[in-house]
Chains A and B, each alone.
Chain A
């Protein structure tokens, strides 16, 4: 009975995956790339995008500037103060905000489809004409400093921060995105204004609009909102240096008194998103610490030993050197035991690779979960931005199953061996 639905399901699968026939892509004269795809199943719309700003533009003594500036964009613009901006958004149940990454600063928002012009208007005003009002800058600074106080007490955040410090020693990625209390204190209004003027601009900007709007109309609305934006002062994207793994395993413990659980991160440098090994490494990572109940790592650390509520591996790949790591939250008395188990799983992974069945399971999972990941407007905007960011091609998701199925066990093992040397790991622990 249920099988009778298969044909229907297969038919709708091809329609549910974005491709060249339903993604509209257009580059505006000032350099902004617009991607749009219609979805009239729900009366809502999502916008999301990036500009070529980000943490890499920060000086060492002003760390956290990119995040400070992004939050500051929403604190008042030339024509409207913060309350007026948020009043426009919240009165119609819309949401909009900015965040910063290493290489880009991002924005995203959503509203009912009827309010898309309002959403784009807020984007246009805040991204081009932020005022960084003095009182708001100080209020924001207090909020950021409180956030850093909370971070200092968070075992997971601190383990991640220490991990980046030791893995990326000497590299810009070693610096914490949110900065330090002293660097946040050092940032002036002039720094915020200069950072905005020098790094925000239409060149390299990408915006995706997905939801209950015709793509042509979406492009017209973006053109109307941002087509006149020019910034001759916009700086070029900085080069990112490469980074190899540590010469030998480096371990650092960060004490946070009074905590009942420790967090542990163990890992190394992973592939860039555009490296040829990326997909093989990603599937290998799924076997290692994702598939089912967190893969082999979850099986050994959680299921067999009962040492942790969570234990999994992840692969973060972007423009620069990536990170391949395993993290777990464990009782402070069990840190060494968990670390030993994880390192021995990494050794096994590098030495023996994955079995045919394990690879097949993860391949099935990657292919099978695609419709779910593209179900919401937010999921589709993420996919469109991914396509643009890494030049994947508009047919990437339509061809995805074939690419995933083509990966071999040998390729997974070669990727594991290329990136993971169990003698050269970074190990970070934060806890009591």
Chain B
């Protein structure tokens, strides 16, 4: 992977990444803040996500509707995401229109208004967003599992927050959160596309450097104690389909074992694509598809981890076959996990995983938006070099590494097993 980018830090602490790509007349600009649901305390859950919504509600210079229309009028594509570790805002625009995005992001880094009327109307919008998610069995199961897995660490609550807090948080809470975390020294800017690095950097300096640095934002230091034994739970709800999720402790993305675990993920459940724009591939020849779906324990299986700052989870999700019960499906999964812990994988399986990763990287590189995304995203949990050396690091993984990390990760004592039991099926039994 070519290292053709520029990294610099402005005098106020804002880190800037610039990467020229002249394949299409487009520029994608991303601003990442190191704040997410892991920075939230009880009573304020969901505040990072709500703050993200409020960032679309205007500044004196860019009132809500003006801002929204201006980006769309220029043919831009923009959005924002809140995660456990970060919040990000991006605009992908025709190259000659990107200045609007730069001005907008510089402005809302410090001048957002959080009008009380907008806070009130957004409260119900976000509650509605949560109610829409609650319609999904896998959302409800996933929330229960995460909550069981993290008693102490703030990864325990949903990014959307709990309804109890969404009903009670105030405009002042939100504004305070914004002022605490939205400071240039807590942000990374990543711009990729059809521009000239020198001119772009000059313009970014002009717009962003006047924003004063803030106090270093506080961090919660609540490490999760070691789990002492398997946890199991059931969630009951409407439906006809039984789901099983099995979540294991997984290291932070910056941990050296992440690469061997990525190979393991690829051969067990099919390669995960961490691309936000570019997608992955099917998993029909993965070990779990063959053992669970082809043998009719499940009608679908997937697995995956998230790249996080602190240790999080690797989760297998099984849609249980209607003719089976969840215990049978779990036993079949356990047999495959035992196999990967006990027997060394063939070198050919690793070679295959590397080729799969290379293809997924190529698909992601078609999109300038995705390239901008990676520069900032990798900085949130490790650094951009993590991304640039990813394929080389995978190539260095050995069969012994895979077996070692499988043994260390897939320990029954440190997992949470959750089952979604459909009430309709239960009633008719």
User: What residues of chain A have their CB less than 8 Å away from a CB belonging to chain B?
Assistant: 1-6, 8-10, 12-13, 16, 41-44, 82-83, 86-87, 89-95, 97, 110-112, 139, 142-143, 145-146, 149-150, 152-155, 256-261, 291-293, 299, 302-310, 329-331, 361, 364-372, 374-378
Contact = CB atoms under 8 A, between A and B. Distances in A.
B362 A112 contact: yes
Which of A9, A16, A257 has the largest count of B CB atoms less than 10 A from its CB? A9
A44 B132 contact: no
A9 B95 contact: yes
7 contacts: A2-B102, A5-B195, A95-B282, A143-B300, A261-B128, A372-B26, A372-B77
Contacts, number: 232
B296 A377 contact: no
A97 B282 contact: yes
Contacts of A293: 56, 68
Given A94-B359, A331-B128, A369 B77 contact: yes
B44 to A, nearest CB: 20
A257 B135 CA distance: 10
Contacts of B127: 331
Given A143-B300, A261-B132, A261-B135, A16 B360 contact: no
Given A9-B96, A375-B368, A152 B240 contact: yes
Contact of B200 (A2, A41, A97, A303): A2
Given A94-B281, A95-B282, A330-B128, A13 B72 contact: no
Interface in B352-399: 352, 355-360, 362-363, 365-368
Which of A95, A370, A375 has the largest count of B CB atoms less than 10 A from its CB? A375
B113 to A, nearest CB: 15
Interface of B: 22-26, 56, 64-65, 68-69, 71-77, 92, 94-99, 102, 120-129, 131-132, 134-135, 137, 194-196, 199-200, 202-203, 237-241, 270-271, 280-286, 290, 293-294, 296, 299-300, 319, 321-323, 352, 355-360, 362-363, 365-368, 423
A331 B286 CA distance: 41
A368 B131 contact: no
Given A2-B203, A304-B121, A93 B271 contact: yes
A142 B359 contact: no
Given A86-B284, A258-B237, A259-B135, A93 B355 contact: yes
Contacts of A330: 128
Given A142-B323, A303-B64, A374-B24, 11 more contacts: A5-B194, A8-B25, A16-B24, A86-B282, A90-B284, A91-B352, A153-B238, A259-B135, A261-B134, A292-B69, A305-B121
Nearest to B353: A93
Contacts of B128: 261, 306-309, 329-331
